Chain A
């Protein structure tokens, strides 16, 4: 079993839709949760970062962490064609050397 599971998609939605992206994990030591966006042939770009449980909002993006269920989500409101990319969840534990464990990524396509 992988430490971090993420549905690879692809996910195709119309412009303006609300998008929900999710990851589950098995390691209860994970405390730091991140979402990266990766455009084709580019490096991952940090989108959202949360510590422990709770919600965090930044513009059209909301990140949620439910540690009791070992489940994290990223919501994108009013999705735009420019949001078309692969979204990677990543997480690390509080100890150690900041080693990030990534999900496989979900490909999102937002069509006009």
Chain B
């Protein structure tokens, strides 16, 4: 079974630029999560999708971050404009549905904002 795929793996941008990350969850997984992991901290949930609907985006900085999950499969997370404090690893995870507690993570995208 293929795992969660993410791209790109690394990205370096200047502040005020925009960036987008892509995630493909495990096949058949209805729930998709985007997390932000700042160096030395645990992952923090940004947004959770159930199929193509948002169920929790309470910690997403909506003035600059946006995410979508068209057709309930792939997802894209965008930052525009980026700030220095957005430097982090952006992790995508998926689970079978929102009642199944096990979440499976992708390798992450390491973003550096200069």
Q: Do A and B bind each other?
A: yes
Q: B-contacting residues of A (Cβ < 8 Å)?
A: 4, 6, 8, 32, 34, 36, 41-46, 49, 51, 88, 90, 92, 96-100, 102-105
Q: Are B110 and A97 in contact (CB under 8 A)?
A: no
Range, interface on chain B: 20 to 34
Known contacts A46-B103, A98-B48, A102-B43; 16 further A-B pairs (Cβ under 8 A): A34-B101, A41-B110, A43-B93, A44-B43, A46-B104, A49-B102, A88-B42, A88-B43, A92-B101, A97-B55, A98-B95, A98-B98, A98-B99, A100-B43, A102-B44, A104-B42
Q: A43 contacts which of B45, B56, B107 (Cβ < 8 Å)?
A: B107
A105 touches B42 (CB 8 A): yes
Q: Give the distance in Å from the alpha carbon of A57 to the alpha carbon of B32 in the complex.
A: 28
Whether B75 sits at the interface, judged by CB under 8 Å, is no
The reply on B2 being an interface residue by CB < 8 A is no
**Mask for B10-43, Cβ within 8 A of A = 1, else 0?**
0000000000000000000001000000001111
Say yes or no: is B106 at the interface (Cβ < 8 Å to chain A).
yes
Across the two chains, which residue of chain B brings its CB closest to A32? B101
Instruction: List chain A residues, Cβ under 8 A from B41.
Output: 104-105
